[in-house]
Amino acid sequence: MHKTSNALLTIVLFSTIAIAAKKFPMTAATIVPGARGVVEIDKDKNGNTRVNVEVQFLAKPESLTPPATVYVVWLQEKDGSAENQGQLRVDNKLKASFKTTTPAKSFDLFVTAERDSAVKTPSGAEVMRAAIQP
Higher pLDDT, 43 or 14: 43
Q: Please report the pLDDT score of residue 1 as a whole number.
A: 53
Q: Please report the pLDDT score of residue 3 as a whole number.
A: 53
Task: For residues 75 and 93, give the distance between their C-alpha atoms in angstroms, rounded to a whole number.
Answer: 26
User: How many folded domains does the chain comprise?
Assistant: 1
- Domain range holding 114? 22-132
Does residue 54 form part of some domain? yes
Task: For residues 82 and 77, give the distance between their C-alpha atoms in angstroms, rounded to a whole number.
Answer: 7
Does residue 93 form part of some domain? yes
Stretch 17-26: mean pLDDT = 78
Does residue 31 form part of some domain? yes
Q: Residue 111 corresponds to which amino acid?
A: V
Query: 27: which strand partners?
Result: 129
- pTM for the model: 0.84
Does residue 16 form part of some domain? no
Does residue 7 form part of some domain? no
Say if residue 45's pLDDT is above 50: yes
Does residue 39 form part of some domain? yes
Stretch 13-19: mean pLDDT = 48
Higher pLDDT, 15 or 37: 37
CATH of the domain at 69: 2.60.40.200
DSSP type of residue 78: T
Does residue 14 form part of some domain? no
Say if residue 15's pLDDT is above 70: no
Task: For residues 22 and 36, give the distance between their C-alpha atoms in angstroms, rounded to a whole number.
Answer: 17
Does residue 3 form part of some domain? no
What's the pLDDT tens digit per position in 84-110? 999 999 999 999 999 999 999 999 999
Stretch 39-52: mean pLDDT = 96
Task: For residues 118 and 132, give the distance between their C-alpha atoms in angstroms, rounded to a whole number.
Answer: 24
